[in-house]
Protein backbone atom coordinates (compact mmCIF):
# COMPACT_ATOMS: atom_id res chain seq x y z
CA UNK A 1 0.00 0.00 0.00
CA UNK A 2 1.21 3.51 -0.71
CA UNK A 3 1.45 5.62 2.46
CA UNK A 4 0.54 9.31 2.05
CA UNK A 5 2.86 11.58 4.05
CA UNK A 6 1.50 15.03 4.96
CA UNK A 7 3.35 17.81 6.79
CA UNK A 8 0.91 19.35 9.27
CA UNK A 9 2.21 21.39 12.19
CA UNK A 10 1.26 24.24 14.50
CA UNK A 11 2.27 26.83 11.89
CA UNK A 12 0.29 25.59 8.89
CA UNK A 13 -2.59 23.78 10.60
CA UNK A 14 -5.13 26.56 9.98
CA UNK A 15 -4.66 26.02 6.22
CA UNK A 16 -4.90 22.23 6.32
CA UNK A 17 -8.63 21.66 6.82
CA UNK A 18 -8.96 19.87 3.45
CA UNK A 19 -6.14 17.48 4.35
CA UNK A 20 -7.56 16.90 7.85
CA UNK A 21 -10.97 16.09 6.32
CA UNK A 22 -9.29 13.57 4.03
CA UNK A 23 -7.54 11.94 7.03
CA UNK A 24 -10.86 11.88 8.92
CA UNK A 25 -12.37 10.02 5.97
CA UNK A 26 -9.59 7.44 6.10
CA UNK A 27 -10.33 6.81 9.80
CA UNK A 28 -14.10 6.56 9.32
CA UNK A 29 -13.44 4.13 6.45
CA UNK A 30 -11.48 1.84 8.80
CA UNK A 31 -8.00 2.96 7.72
CA UNK A 32 -4.91 3.84 9.75
CA UNK A 33 -3.16 7.21 10.18
CA UNK A 34 0.00 7.88 12.24
CA UNK A 35 -0.04 11.26 13.99
CA UNK A 36 2.11 13.31 16.37
CA UNK A 37 1.19 13.75 20.03
CA UNK A 38 3.13 15.61 22.74
CA UNK A 39 4.53 12.27 24.06
CA UNK A 40 5.33 10.06 21.04
CA UNK A 41 3.73 9.44 17.61
CA UNK A 42 0.58 7.31 17.67
CA UNK A 43 -0.79 4.85 15.10
CA UNK A 44 -4.47 5.76 14.93
CA UNK A 45 -7.63 3.94 13.89
CA UNK A 46 -11.32 4.20 14.84
CA UNK A 47 -11.46 2.95 18.46
CA UNK A 48 -15.09 1.82 17.98
CA UNK A 49 -14.32 -0.31 14.90
CA UNK A 50 -12.91 -3.73 15.73
CA UNK A 51 -11.58 -4.19 12.20
CA UNK A 52 -9.53 -1.00 12.58
CA UNK A 53 -8.07 -2.24 15.86
CA UNK A 54 -7.18 -5.56 14.24
CA UNK A 55 -5.39 -3.63 11.46
CA UNK A 56 -3.41 -1.69 14.08
CA UNK A 57 -2.18 -4.93 15.67
CA UNK A 58 -1.26 -6.34 12.27
CA UNK A 59 0.62 -3.20 11.11
CA UNK A 60 2.68 -3.10 14.32
CA UNK A 61 3.16 -6.86 14.63
CA UNK A 62 1.76 -6.45 18.15
CA UNK A 63 0.22 -9.24 20.24
CA UNK A 64 -3.54 -8.63 20.22
CA UNK A 65 -3.86 -9.11 24.01
CA UNK A 66 -2.03 -5.80 24.51
CA UNK A 67 -4.78 -3.15 24.75
CA UNK A 68 -4.85 0.19 22.92
CA UNK A 69 -5.37 3.70 24.33
CA UNK A 70 -8.48 5.56 23.06
CA UNK A 71 -7.65 9.22 22.32
CA UNK A 72 -10.32 11.92 22.61
CA UNK A 73 -10.33 15.68 21.98
CA UNK A 74 -13.20 16.70 24.25
CA UNK A 75 -14.64 15.61 27.63
CA UNK A 76 -17.99 14.97 25.94
CA UNK A 77 -16.42 11.97 24.17
CA UNK A 78 -15.48 10.25 27.43
CA UNK A 79 -19.01 9.25 28.47
CA UNK A 80 -19.65 6.88 25.58
CA UNK A 81 -16.40 4.99 26.26
CA UNK A 82 -16.70 4.31 29.96
CA UNK A 83 -19.16 2.63 32.34
CA UNK A 84 -18.79 5.40 34.92
CA UNK A 85 -16.63 8.47 35.52
CA UNK A 86 -15.23 8.42 39.08
CA UNK A 87 -14.92 11.86 40.80
CA UNK A 88 -11.18 11.40 40.92
CA UNK A 89 -11.08 11.17 37.12
CA UNK A 90 -12.89 14.50 36.85
CA UNK A 91 -10.29 16.08 39.13
CA UNK A 92 -7.38 14.56 37.23
CA UNK A 93 -8.86 15.61 33.90
CA UNK A 94 -9.36 19.18 35.17
CA UNK A 95 -5.69 19.36 36.08
CA UNK A 96 -3.91 17.23 33.45
CA UNK A 97 -6.10 17.02 30.32
CA UNK A 98 -5.35 17.74 27.62
CA UNK A 99 -1.92 16.29 28.38
CA UNK A 100 0.33 13.23 28.86
CA UNK A 101 -1.93 11.27 31.23
CA UNK A 102 -3.84 8.08 30.39
CA UNK A 103 -6.60 6.94 32.75
CA UNK A 104 -8.01 3.40 32.95
CA UNK A 105 -11.79 3.10 33.42
CA UNK A 106 -14.32 0.27 33.41
CA UNK A 107 -15.36 0.17 29.75
CA UNK A 108 -18.80 0.70 28.23
CA UNK A 109 -20.38 -1.77 25.79
CA UNK A 110 -19.60 0.63 22.94
CA UNK A 111 -15.87 -0.15 23.07
CA UNK A 112 -15.06 -3.40 21.28
CA UNK A 113 -12.91 -6.02 23.02
CA UNK A 114 -10.60 -5.86 20.00
CA UNK A 115 -9.58 -2.39 21.21
CA UNK A 116 -9.12 -3.36 24.88
CA UNK A 117 -7.28 -6.60 24.22
CA UNK A 118 -10.21 -8.53 25.72
CA UNK A 119 -10.23 -6.53 28.99
CA UNK A 120 -13.33 -5.02 30.65
CA UNK A 121 -11.41 -1.78 31.15
CA UNK A 122 -10.47 0.92 28.67
CA UNK A 123 -7.51 3.34 28.62
CA UNK A 124 -8.39 6.92 27.62
CA UNK A 125 -6.18 9.93 26.97
CA UNK A 126 -6.82 13.48 25.73
CA UNK A 127 -3.58 14.64 24.07
CA UNK A 128 -2.59 18.33 24.05
CA UNK A 129 -0.71 18.39 20.74
CA UNK A 130 -2.68 20.76 18.46
CA UNK A 131 -2.28 18.49 15.42
CA UNK A 132 -3.47 15.45 17.40
CA UNK A 133 -6.50 17.40 18.61
CA UNK A 134 -7.49 18.65 15.15
CA UNK A 135 -6.99 15.18 13.70
CA UNK A 136 -9.25 13.56 16.33
CA UNK A 137 -11.90 16.24 15.77
CA UNK A 138 -11.72 15.71 12.00
CA UNK A 139 -12.22 11.97 12.49
CA UNK A 140 -15.26 12.56 14.71
CA UNK A 141 -14.63 9.28 16.55
CA UNK A 142 -12.28 8.33 19.40
CA UNK A 143 -8.91 7.25 18.01
CA UNK A 144 -7.33 4.01 19.25
CA UNK A 145 -3.59 4.53 19.10
CA UNK A 146 -0.58 2.65 20.35
CA UNK A 147 2.85 4.16 19.75
CA UNK A 148 3.54 4.15 15.98
CA UNK A 149 6.51 1.78 16.05
CA UNK A 150 6.90 -1.83 15.03
CA UNK A 151 6.25 -3.82 18.22
CA UNK A 152 9.32 -3.99 20.48
CA UNK A 153 11.24 -1.10 18.87
CA UNK A 154 11.74 2.29 20.57
CA UNK A 155 8.67 4.54 20.30
CA UNK A 156 8.85 7.13 17.48
CA UNK A 157 9.61 10.72 18.45
CA UNK A 158 9.75 12.05 14.87
CA UNK A 159 7.96 11.27 11.60
CA UNK A 160 11.23 9.83 10.27
CA UNK A 161 11.03 7.07 12.90
CA UNK A 162 7.42 6.30 11.91
CA UNK A 163 8.40 6.14 8.23
CA UNK A 164 11.25 3.73 9.07
CA UNK A 165 8.83 1.35 10.79
CA UNK A 166 5.48 1.72 9.02
CA UNK A 167 5.90 3.18 5.51
CA UNK A 168 3.88 1.03 3.10
CA UNK A 169 1.90 -0.62 5.93
CA UNK A 170 -0.60 2.16 6.77
CA UNK A 171 -2.70 4.72 4.86
CA UNK A 172 -1.10 7.96 6.00
CA UNK A 173 1.50 9.58 8.25
CA UNK A 174 1.16 13.13 9.57
CA UNK A 175 4.62 14.68 9.85
CA UNK A 176 4.34 17.20 12.68
CA UNK A 177 8.07 17.41 13.41
CA UNK A 178 9.77 16.31 16.60
CA UNK A 179 7.63 15.62 19.68
CA UNK A 180 7.97 17.57 22.90
CA UNK A 181 8.16 15.01 25.74
CA UNK A 182 9.57 11.91 24.07
CA UNK A 183 8.32 9.31 26.60
CA UNK A 184 4.87 7.70 26.55
CA UNK A 185 2.11 9.03 28.81
CA UNK A 186 1.78 8.19 32.49
CA UNK A 187 -0.91 5.50 32.94
CA UNK A 188 -3.07 5.58 36.07
CA UNK A 189 -5.63 2.87 36.81
CA UNK A 190 -8.89 4.20 38.30
CA UNK A 191 -10.93 1.06 37.68
CA UNK A 192 -10.58 -0.40 41.19
CA UNK A 193 -9.28 0.50 44.67
CA UNK A 194 -6.55 3.09 45.22
CA UNK A 195 -5.46 4.85 41.99
CA UNK A 196 -2.39 2.99 40.73
CA UNK A 197 0.36 4.01 38.33
CA UNK A 198 0.82 1.29 35.72
CA UNK A 199 3.42 3.16 33.65
CA UNK A 200 5.50 6.13 34.92
CA UNK A 201 5.75 9.20 32.69
CA UNK A 202 6.08 12.98 32.57
CA UNK A 203 3.28 13.34 35.15
CA UNK A 204 4.89 11.74 38.18
CA UNK A 205 3.52 10.31 41.42
CA UNK A 206 3.89 13.57 43.40
CA UNK A 207 1.94 15.53 40.79
CA UNK A 208 -0.85 12.93 40.88
CA UNK A 209 -0.94 12.69 44.69
CA UNK A 210 -1.36 16.46 44.91
CA UNK A 211 -4.71 16.01 43.20
CA UNK A 212 -5.93 12.60 44.36
CA UNK A 213 -4.26 11.81 47.68
CA UNK A 214 -2.58 8.41 47.96
CA UNK A 215 -1.47 6.80 44.70
CA UNK A 216 0.03 3.30 44.49
CA UNK A 217 2.59 2.06 42.01
CA UNK A 218 2.04 -1.29 40.29
CA UNK A 219 4.39 -3.61 42.26
CA UNK A 220 5.57 -5.14 38.97
CA UNK A 221 7.29 -1.84 38.11
CA UNK A 222 9.69 -1.96 41.03
CA UNK A 223 10.07 -5.74 41.38
CA UNK A 224 13.10 -7.49 39.93
CA UNK A 225 12.27 -9.48 36.79
CA UNK A 226 13.11 -12.78 38.57
CA UNK A 227 10.13 -12.21 40.86
CA UNK A 228 7.86 -12.75 37.82
CA UNK A 229 5.17 -10.32 38.98
CA UNK A 230 2.69 -9.75 36.18
CA UNK A 231 2.24 -6.04 35.40
CA UNK A 232 -1.36 -4.83 35.18
CA UNK A 233 -0.64 -3.02 31.90
CA UNK A 234 -0.04 -5.98 29.57
CA UNK A 235 2.32 -3.86 27.44
CA UNK A 236 4.75 -3.46 30.34
CA UNK A 237 5.42 -7.20 30.22
CA UNK A 238 7.19 -7.33 26.92
CA UNK A 239 10.84 -6.43 26.25
CA UNK A 240 10.27 -3.05 24.81
CA UNK A 241 11.71 0.21 23.61
CA UNK A 242 14.69 -1.89 22.71
CA UNK A 243 17.45 -1.26 20.19
CA UNK A 244 18.81 -4.22 18.19
CA UNK A 245 22.21 -4.07 19.89
CA UNK A 246 22.89 -5.27 23.45
CA UNK A 247 22.24 -2.35 25.82
CA UNK A 248 23.90 -2.11 29.24
CA UNK A 249 23.10 0.53 31.89
CA UNK A 250 26.13 1.63 33.92
CA UNK A 251 25.38 3.13 37.33
CA UNK A 252 27.90 4.71 39.76
CA UNK A 253 29.98 7.82 40.35
CA UNK A 254 30.69 9.75 37.11
CA UNK A 255 34.41 8.85 37.11
CA UNK A 256 33.76 5.15 37.73
CA UNK A 257 31.10 5.06 35.01
CA UNK A 258 33.36 6.69 32.42
CA UNK A 259 36.31 4.47 33.22
CA UNK A 260 34.22 1.26 33.20
CA UNK A 261 32.67 2.15 29.84
CA UNK A 262 36.02 3.11 28.31
CA UNK A 263 37.40 -0.21 29.46
CA UNK A 264 34.50 -2.08 27.84
CA UNK A 265 34.74 -0.06 24.62
CA UNK A 266 38.34 -1.22 24.29
CA UNK A 267 37.23 -4.86 24.15
CA UNK A 268 35.34 -4.67 20.85
CA UNK A 269 36.03 -3.15 17.42
CA UNK A 270 35.09 0.54 17.59
CA UNK A 271 32.68 0.21 14.65
CA UNK A 272 30.29 -1.85 16.80
CA UNK A 273 30.42 0.01 20.12
CA UNK A 274 28.44 3.02 21.30
CA UNK A 275 27.82 5.18 24.36
CA UNK A 276 24.75 7.22 25.29
CA UNK A 277 25.87 10.04 27.55
CA UNK A 278 25.39 13.74 28.36
CA UNK A 279 27.29 16.90 27.35
CA UNK A 280 29.32 16.76 30.59
CA UNK A 281 30.95 13.45 29.63
CA UNK A 282 30.76 13.24 25.85
CA UNK A 283 34.45 14.15 25.32
CA UNK A 284 35.64 11.62 27.89
CA UNK A 285 34.92 8.52 25.79
CA UNK A 286 37.84 7.29 23.77
CA UNK A 287 36.15 5.52 20.86
CA UNK A 288 32.91 4.21 19.41
CA UNK A 289 29.77 6.11 18.46
CA UNK A 290 29.07 8.67 21.22
CA UNK A 291 25.59 10.23 21.42
CA UNK A 292 24.78 12.98 23.93
CA UNK A 293 21.22 13.50 25.19
CA UNK A 294 21.98 17.07 26.35
CA UNK A 295 22.95 18.41 29.76
CA UNK A 296 22.46 15.92 32.61
CA UNK A 297 20.34 18.35 34.63
CA UNK A 298 18.10 19.03 31.61
CA UNK A 299 15.82 16.03 32.13
CA UNK A 300 13.44 17.20 29.44
CA UNK A 301 16.21 16.98 26.88
CA UNK A 302 17.34 13.55 28.13
CA UNK A 303 13.76 12.24 27.85
CA UNK A 304 13.15 13.82 24.45
CA UNK A 305 16.37 12.51 22.88
CA UNK A 306 16.48 9.01 24.40
CA UNK A 307 14.49 6.94 21.89
CA UNK A 308 16.09 8.73 18.93
CA UNK A 309 19.51 7.84 20.37
CA UNK A 310 18.57 4.15 20.69
CA UNK A 311 17.39 4.16 17.06
CA UNK A 312 20.61 5.90 15.89
CA UNK A 313 22.63 3.13 17.49
CA UNK A 314 20.72 0.66 15.30
CA UNK A 315 21.38 2.78 12.22
CA UNK A 316 25.10 2.68 12.95
CA UNK A 317 24.94 -1.11 13.40
CA UNK A 318 26.16 -0.86 17.00
CA UNK A 319 26.24 -4.23 18.78
CA UNK A 320 27.39 -3.13 22.27
CA UNK A 321 25.71 -0.03 23.65
CA UNK A 322 26.48 1.47 27.07
CA UNK A 323 24.25 4.09 28.66
CA UNK A 324 24.87 6.13 31.78
CA UNK A 325 22.20 5.78 34.47
CA UNK A 326 19.72 8.65 35.04
CA UNK A 327 18.42 8.03 38.56
CA UNK A 328 16.84 10.85 40.56
CA UNK A 329 15.14 14.01 39.40
CA UNK A 330 11.51 14.52 38.47
CA UNK A 331 11.62 12.28 35.41
CA UNK A 332 14.19 9.78 36.69
CA UNK A 333 11.61 7.10 37.35
CA UNK A 334 10.10 7.32 33.86
CA UNK A 335 13.48 7.46 32.11
CA UNK A 336 14.91 4.53 34.09
CA UNK A 337 11.73 2.47 33.58
CA UNK A 338 12.19 2.72 29.80
CA UNK A 339 15.95 2.16 29.96
CA UNK A 340 15.58 -0.90 32.16
CA UNK A 341 13.11 -2.44 29.74
CA UNK A 342 15.24 -1.54 26.73
CA UNK A 343 18.26 -3.11 28.44
CA UNK A 344 16.33 -6.20 29.55
CA UNK A 345 17.37 -5.07 33.10
CA UNK A 346 21.10 -5.46 32.30
CA UNK A 347 22.62 -3.04 34.84
CA UNK A 348 26.25 -2.85 36.00
CA UNK A 349 27.02 -1.00 39.23
CA UNK A 350 30.53 0.42 39.45
O1 LIG B 1 1.84 8.49 25.19
C2 LIG B 1 1.18 7.50 24.90
O3 LIG B 1 0.46 6.90 25.74
C4 LIG B 1 1.24 7.00 23.45
C5 LIG B 1 0.59 8.06 22.56
C6 LIG B 1 0.44 7.62 21.15
O7 LIG B 1 -0.64 8.44 23.13
N8 LIG B 1 0.60 5.73 23.32
C9 LIG B 1 1.15 4.59 23.80
O10 LIG B 1 0.42 3.45 23.52
O11 LIG B 1 2.18 4.55 24.44
P12 LIG B 1 0.99 1.97 23.66
O13 LIG B 1 -0.03 1.10 23.05
O14 LIG B 1 2.36 1.89 23.10
O15 LIG B 1 1.00 1.72 25.19
C16 LIG B 1 -0.23 1.55 25.87
C17 LIG B 1 -0.01 0.88 27.18
C18 LIG B 1 0.34 -0.59 27.05
O19 LIG B 1 1.33 -0.90 28.01
C20 LIG B 1 -0.97 -1.27 27.40
O21 LIG B 1 -0.78 -2.55 27.93
C22 LIG B 1 -1.56 -0.30 28.40
O23 LIG B 1 -1.23 0.96 27.90
N24 LIG B 1 -3.03 -0.38 28.49
C25 LIG B 1 -3.94 0.00 27.55
N26 LIG B 1 -5.19 -0.29 27.95
C27 LIG B 1 -5.09 -0.84 29.17
C28 LIG B 1 -6.03 -1.36 30.11
N29 LIG B 1 -7.33 -1.36 29.86
N30 LIG B 1 -5.55 -1.86 31.28
C31 LIG B 1 -4.22 -1.87 31.54
N32 LIG B 1 -3.28 -1.39 30.68
C33 LIG B 1 -3.71 -0.90 29.52
MG1 LIG C 1 4.23 1.32 22.67
- Which ligand 1 atom minimizes the distance to the CA of 232? 31
Cα(146) to ligand 1 centroid in Å equals: 6
Cα(170) to ligand 2 centroid in Å equals: 17
At 33 the pLDDT is 99
- Per residue of the chain (350 residues), give pLDDT as tens: 999 999 999 999 999 999 999 999 999 999 999 999 999 999 999 999 999 999 999 999 988 889 999 999 999 999 999 999 999 999 999 999 999 999 999 999 999 999 999 999 999 999 999 999 999 999 999 999 999 999 989 999 999 999 999 999 999 999 999 999 999 999 999 999 999 999 999 999 999 999 999 999 999 998 887 888 889 998 887 667 788 899 999 999 999 999 999 999 999 999 999 999 999 999 999 889 999 999 999 999 999 999 999 999 999 999 999 999 999 889 999 999 999 999 998 999 99
The DSSP secondary-structure symbol of 266 reads: T
Residue ID of nearest Cα to ligand 1 atom 20 = 235
Residue ID of nearest Cα to ligand 1 atom 10 = 146
At 238 the pLDDT is 65
99, 201 Cβ separation under 8 angstroms: no
| pTM for this prediction | 0.97
158, 181 Cβ separation under 8 angstroms: no
d(CA 77, CA 5): 28
Ligand closest to CA 238: 1
Phi, psi of 320 (to 5 degrees): -125, 110
Closest of 83, 18, 69, 75 to residue 40, by C-alpha: 69
Number of CB atoms found within 10 A of residue 107's CB: 23
Who surrounds ion ligand 2 at CB < 5 A?
147
Closest of 167, 349, 338 to residue 260, by C-alpha: 349
Amino acid sequence: METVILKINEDNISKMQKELDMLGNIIRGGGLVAFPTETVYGLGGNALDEKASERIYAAKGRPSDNPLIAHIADMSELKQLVYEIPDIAVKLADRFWPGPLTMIFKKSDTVPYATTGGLDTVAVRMPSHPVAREFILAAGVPIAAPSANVSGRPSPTSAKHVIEDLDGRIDAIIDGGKVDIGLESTIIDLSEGVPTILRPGFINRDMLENITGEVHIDPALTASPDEHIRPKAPGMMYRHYAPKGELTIVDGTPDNVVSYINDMLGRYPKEVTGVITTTENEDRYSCGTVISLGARNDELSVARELYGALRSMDEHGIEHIYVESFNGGRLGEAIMNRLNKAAGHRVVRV
